[in-house]
Homo-oligomer: A and B are copies of this chain.
Amino acid sequence: MKKKELPRFLYGGDYNPEQWPAETWSKDIQVFKQADINSATVNVFSWALLEPQEGQYDFTMLDKIVDNLSRANFNIVMATSTAAMPAWMFKKYPEVARVDYQGRRHVFGQRHNFCPSSKDYQRLASDLVAHLAERYHDNPHIVAWHVNNEYGGNCYCDNCAAAFRKWLKDRYQTPDKLNKAWNMNVWSHTIYDWDEIVVPNELGDAWGPEGIETIVAGLSIDYLRFQSDAMLNLFKLEKRVIEKYSPDAPVTTNFHSLPNKMVDYQKWAKGQDIISYDSYPAYDMPTYHPAFLYDLMRTLKHQPFMLMESTPAQVNWQPYSPLKRPGQVRATELQAVAHGADTVQYFQLKQAIGGSEKFHSAVIAHSGRTDTRAFKEVARLGHDLNKVGPVIKGAKTTAKVGIVFDWSNFWALEYVDGITQDLRYVPIILDYYRQFYEQNIPTDVISVDDDFSQYDLIVAPVLYMVKPGLGEKIDRYVKAGGNFVTSFMSGIVGPSDNVYTGGYPGPLKDVTGIWVEESDAVVPGHRTNISIGDQEYAAHLMCDLIHLEGAQAIATYANEFYAGVPAVTENKYGKGNAWYVGSRLEHDGLKKVIDRVIKFSGVKPLVDQATPLEVTKRVTTDGQELYFVLNMSNGSQELPMKFRGYHDLLTGRVAQPTLKGWDVEILQS
């Protein structure tokens, strides 16, 4: 059944009135209304209240909460409360608790620590959700269901081991095929029976920090696939229950982190009716990092998404939580909108007085006062969204550049034991993303399964794992006129982390027109350079020694015994072009390369003029072009000439020629 859309641009967030006396709630609503807040997410962590003992349900409190919000005409995002299990459940069914990477079972406490393979957990969660869905499905204020919370974190228990063996049997059919896939004749690992497989934990084939060190990468990567699937099954289980009662209500779970390594969001996206995301950029994170994450979230379904959580002022759990500067919260929230968010939701609407997040900010702070800087900023944004939300909602983003991000590759690459210990996936992807961000060229962050043909340029750095068919897909794309960028540590292994023999970059050799004979590690304290024209730039991490087999060099190494050897290459291939960047280049060096790529590919920035302002475009459902111009810094910046005279939706006036620190304009011509 087709799912309903969100009825309006939501402004609100997580709200936990069960932590306060009911007589305080009407005051809460009053305060929220002062800030034009129109929605609340409830019931995220109330299982213990809803089900004080197995099978005994008590909805008194939640009824009151829902009633209170409904009477105030709030939209409600109804969560299922399954992310934190009650104490009695740990006592009665210890196996609902996760076993950690060291083999230790968790005890009651924390949250997000259920075992995805526990039948008891599944049954109890499913029962709870059935009761919730049955009770509340016909409340018209409920506009979406929020399953569980921030899935993630792996379990290594015996139940998971059993489920994993079953998962493997489905994938590989016979132990023999598994042995081949995981190359098990190495170190006498050959197995003959499924139950000889043990899960990768610190005392077996994986030994270092979780997710980083492994003896058998095939095993470890498959375990991550399995765990992501096992958690996805939990999501689907709850979703099916909800849909039984409420077939047309959109169902989502909130994605998170930078991004979360443990869950394959691209695989999960299919099961989400709408993507929702919790955004907590750290104070010292460059502004292109959240932009990248928003583009990733938007691209998951090529649709607007919900900004499900964000902080209205300070977080508490990062090492240092400086105050957001005046205007910064508004700019930060609108950055998400600029990249495709159709909601702005906070964690949290009212600040807890106890618990580990009591110093996380909220719309209603501990002081309860509204004459605060933080509240005024929240209210100002509420008024803004009240005005522009209806116009923005549903507006689409178009990009001609696709940056490839792939979870299997994320896993495989960070298990690599070789060349250099400093190899990490996201920072390298961000190197490339930043190039387009700083030139205000819209990008999608796509999966390897996305349709490449809609892009003029595909950028796939460190594409270490190339699954069957992907090499051919890239080949076809370039031959047909596409432009393709890849880098060192690409084309190395297949889906189970076995190396493609015959020379690196394996299935990408033809399209790139090169052969990488060997790779040097750049060691600490050492500087290796490349030359482009008469300019030198630093090369970090590792240096591929490239043989041209059809390609031409556009950069060469400037020192070491391989001075003169190609470092960056360009290959005309069919009607298209492919570039190979053989090292991790410093920003300016990479800019030289990417500028050339951009020129060849014909992709265009949203504004021709160089500017430190961030510019994005969304096109409304009725075809209006909205330019988001954001000053993501403390200092003033000039509006690009192109936008002079444009109309600013936020002020209802003509665009100001100067944007002060953290100013935002939403412009129409």
List residues of A whose CB falls within 8 A of some B CB: 16, 18-19, 45-49, 52-53, 81, 84-88, 90-91, 100, 102-111, 182-193, 195-198, 200-201, 203-207, 214-218, 283-284, 313-314, 316-317, 319-323, 325-326, 351-360, 366-369, 372-374, 416-421, 496-504, 515, 517-524, 545, 561
Contact A198–B108 (Cβ < 8 Å): yes
Contact A109–B368 (Cβ < 8 Å): no
Residues of B within 8 A of A206 (CB): 109
The residue among A18, A47, A103, A191 with the most chain B CB atoms within 10 A of its own CB is A191
Q: List 5 A-B contacts (CB under 8 A).
A: A107-B203, A320-B421, A366-B499, A366-B502, A368-B501
Q: How far is the CB of A319 from chain B (nearest CB, A)?
A: 5
Contact A187–B45 (Cβ < 8 Å): yes
In the complex the two chains form, what is the Cα distance from A373 to B195 in whole Å? 45
Contact B561–A325 (Cβ < 8 Å): yes
- Name which residue of chain B comes closest to A218, CB basis: B354
Q: A190-B86, A523-B320 are in contact. Are A103 and B104 (CB under 8 A)?
A: yes
Residues of B within 8 A of A356 (CB): 187, 214-217, 417
Residues of B within 8 A of A190 (CB): 48-49, 52, 86-87
| New contact pairs (7) apart from A45-B187, A109-B204, CB-CB < 8 Å | A49-B185, A52-B192, A105-B203, A109-B189, A183-B355, A187-B355, A358-B418
Contact B367–A81 (Cβ < 8 Å): no
In the complex the two chains form, what is the Cα distance from A359 to B131 in whole Å? 54
Q: How far is the CB of A208 from chain B (nearest CB, A)?
A: 11
In the complex the two chains form, what is the Cα distance from A205 to B108 in whole Å? 7
Contact B417–A217 (Cβ < 8 Å): no
Q: How far is the CB of A54 from chain B (nearest CB, A)?
A: 11
Q: How far is the CB of A134 from chain B (nearest CB, A)?
A: 20
Q: A186-B16, A316-B418 are in contact. Are A515 and B367 (CB under 8 A)?
A: yes
Taking a contact as CB atoms closer than 8 A, the residue among B19, B106, B520 that contacts A186 in the complex is: B19
Taking a contact as CB atoms closer than 8 A, the residue among B188, B355, B368 that contacts A49 in the complex is: B188
Q: How far is the CB of A281 from chain B (nearest CB, A)?
A: 14
Contact B369–A503 (Cβ < 8 Å): yes
Q: How far is the CB of A350 from chain B (nearest CB, A)?
A: 10
Taking a contact as CB atoms closer than 8 A, the residue among B102, B110, B359 that contacts A104 in the complex is: B102
> Would you list the 4 A-B pairs with minimal beta carbon distance, nearest first?
A183-B354, A359-B418, A109-B205, A186-B355
Contact A188–B45 (Cβ < 8 Å): yes
Q: How far is the CB of A240 from chain B (nearest CB, A)?
A: 23
Residues of B within 8 A of A217 (CB): 354, 356
Contact B110–A205 (Cβ < 8 Å): yes
Taking a contact as CB atoms closer than 8 A, the residue among B90, B103, B216 that contacts A109 in the complex is: B216
Taking a contact as CB atoms closer than 8 A, the residue among B182, B189, B198, B358 that contacts A499 in the complex is: B358
Q: A47-B188, A360-B418, A524-B320 are in contact. Are A499 and B203 (CB under 8 A)?
A: no
- Name which residue of chain B comes closest to A88, CB basis: B196
Q: How far is the CB of A579 from chain B (nearest CB, A)?
A: 22
